[in-house]
Amino acid sequence: MTTAVSQLDLYMMAPAFILVATSIILLLFGAFQKGKKGLPYICLLGILLSFIVSVMLWNSRGYAFSKMIAVDNYSLFFHFIFLIATGLSVLISTDYLRVRGIESGEYYALLLLTVFGMILMASGLNLIIIFLGLEILSLSLYILTGFDRGEIRSIESSMKYFLLGAFATGFLLYGIALVYGASGSLRLDEIARFIKNNGMSHPLMFFMGTGLLIVGFGFKIASVPFHVWTPDVYEGAPTPVTAFMSIGAKAAGFAAFVRILMFAFGTEVHWVPLLWVLSALTMTLGNVVAISQTNIKRMLAYSAIAHTGYLLIGMVAKSSLGLHGILFYLLAYTFMNIGAFTVVIFLGKNGEENLNLEDYCGLGSKKPLLAGAMAIFMFSLSGIPPTAGFMGKFYLFSAAIKEGYIWLAVLGVMNSLISVYYYLRIVVLMYMKESVKEIGQPSLYLNLICALLITSFVTLYLGLFPSFSLSLIQQVFMVL
């Protein structure tokens, strides 16, 4: 095995390396330039270049760095999700950071380094590479969560996220060690080959390793009972960071989770009953607790937990339709969730974030376009047609029914009905209640308007015309 870095290695990993180079440029620019206006546009340029190179790599199947990293349509599809989520997060961050007085090159550099970790997780064919990606992602998010150093809640949430994340990392490392002890390899293809040829020579060690891996990834995707960090961290973090981590960390976690459990461990390891229970508990607890929330960021945090439960249905189904549903749902969730947080940021004025649900009373009459966009996102998150959220849930629930998991699909439908209550409560407050306090005129920030238009349009487009995204997803599994 050669250790030299070839031109092919550099080309295959070019999207990730572009992000790292851009982050270094941002750090230097922020250190030597007094003005901060160019920082977000340098960041967006790096994201755009990385996206273009990822498109150029589409339909290629190659390996980099001694087959420790795979560049295929599966990893590239997640590249698109990561980069889209990051680009939208940059758009909604610029004015927020300026108003809060915390704009700096380090913020945008950390965003790009987080995406670098996500790409390693989605592309890794070696458990150590996946672990390194997870740590790069996590360390960057710990800092971003506490980036608003003048806000005590931000610092508190960062510390809580760090302590619980370090605890979960220990489980993940022990799981990797046990899987290595049982199979003799850290490479996913060799683990899969070992299981196929030899079965379970050390079943207890392998089952314990798999369980600990589920704990480690369960923390990152915020599944019950590893979700306890989510509400406090979402509430305390700067709102653009909350929007970013709600998509990026979840998508990266599922990217690695699916590749390990479904393509490496296969059906030889009986992890499906455990995921069935986790899915049911996660979506039920998330939706039930969300009902009692009066802070919109905490409500969306429990909503994110519930959506993790829906996504786990696709993993339980273990079918191509289930995997199609996972990828489509993550793509749809990117736009509808960041769109909802964009409205939250839009309503903030003079540093006041207006996070209580009562702050949305009367929004329909005073800010009709803003209220209309928020209604679209609430409809989509609750799964009401013709939005992207409805199509995503349709594919996931259909996969469960097709594979015989009818009760899990029934639970999913019932939980969707529960979620309608607290999502549509926002719509009722906007259109059917008088405002309890004066709604300030939000400044017409161009970047926020662009993000709001993009997220609203795509949320409706994916619900009405899902065929293009589904054709891309079909190409993902043709390659796999």
Considering only residues 361 and 266, tell me which one the structure prediction assigns the higher pLDDT.
361
What's the confidence (pLDDT) of residue 353?
Answer: 65
In this structure, of 217-221, 313-317, 394-398, 432-436, the range with the lowest mean pLDDT score is 432-436
At 205, the pLDDT band (50, 70, 90 cuts) reads confident
Tell me the pLDDT of the chain averaged across its residues.
Answer: 87
Arithmetic mean of pLDDT, 379-383 = 92
Alpha carbon of 358 to those of 354, 375, 379, 428, 439: distances in Å? 9, 16, 19, 11, 11
Letter for the amino acid at 179? V
Question: Would you kindly state where each structural domain of the chain is located, as residue ranges?
Answer: 271-480
What's the confidence (pLDDT) of residue 359?
Answer: 81
Instruction: Check whether 3 has a pLDDT greater than 60.
Output: no
Closest to 113 in 3D by CA, of 136, 135, 94, 134: 136
What's the confidence (pLDDT) of residue 438?
Answer: 63
Q: For residue 40, what are the β-bridge partners?
A: none
- Residue that has been written with the tokens 């380090």 in this structure: 106
Alpha carbon of 466 to those of 154, 193, 374, 394: distances in Å? 38, 36, 21, 12
DSSP 124: B
At 206, the pLDDT band (50, 70, 90 cuts) reads confident
DSSP string, 291-318: TT--BHHHHHHHHHHHHHHHHHHHHHHT
Alpha carbon of 225 to those of 112, 309, 462: distances in Å? 30, 12, 32
In this structure, of 33-42, 126-135, 356-365, 466-475, the range with the lowest mean pLDDT score is 33-42
Q: Where are the alpha helices (DSSP H) in 70-202?
A: 73-100, 105-123, 127-145, 152-183, 188-198
Arithmetic mean of pLDDT, 23-52 = 86
Q: Are 145 and 236 in contact (CB under 8 A)?
A: yes
Q: Are 473 and 58 in contact (CB under 8 A)?
A: no
At 37, the pLDDT band (50, 70, 90 cuts) reads confident
**Percentage of the chain lying above the pLDDT 90 cut:** 45
What's the confidence (pLDDT) of residue 420?
Answer: 92
The 3-state DSSP class for residue 385 equals: coil
Q: Are 383 and 393 in contact (CB under 8 A)?
A: yes
Instruction: Check whether 354 has a pLDDT greater than 80.
Output: no
DSSP string, 32-99: H-S--TTHHHHHHHHHHHHHHHHHHTTT--EEETTTTEEESHHHHHHHHHHHHHHHHHHHHHHHHHHH
Cα 373 to chain centroid, rounded: 21
What's the confidence (pLDDT) of residue 1?
Answer: 45
Cα 36 to chain centroid, rounded: 28
At 182, the pLDDT band (50, 70, 90 cuts) reads confident
Start-to-end CA span in the chain (Å): 25
Give the relative orientation of helices 368-382 and 446-464 as an angle to the nearest 10 degrees: 40
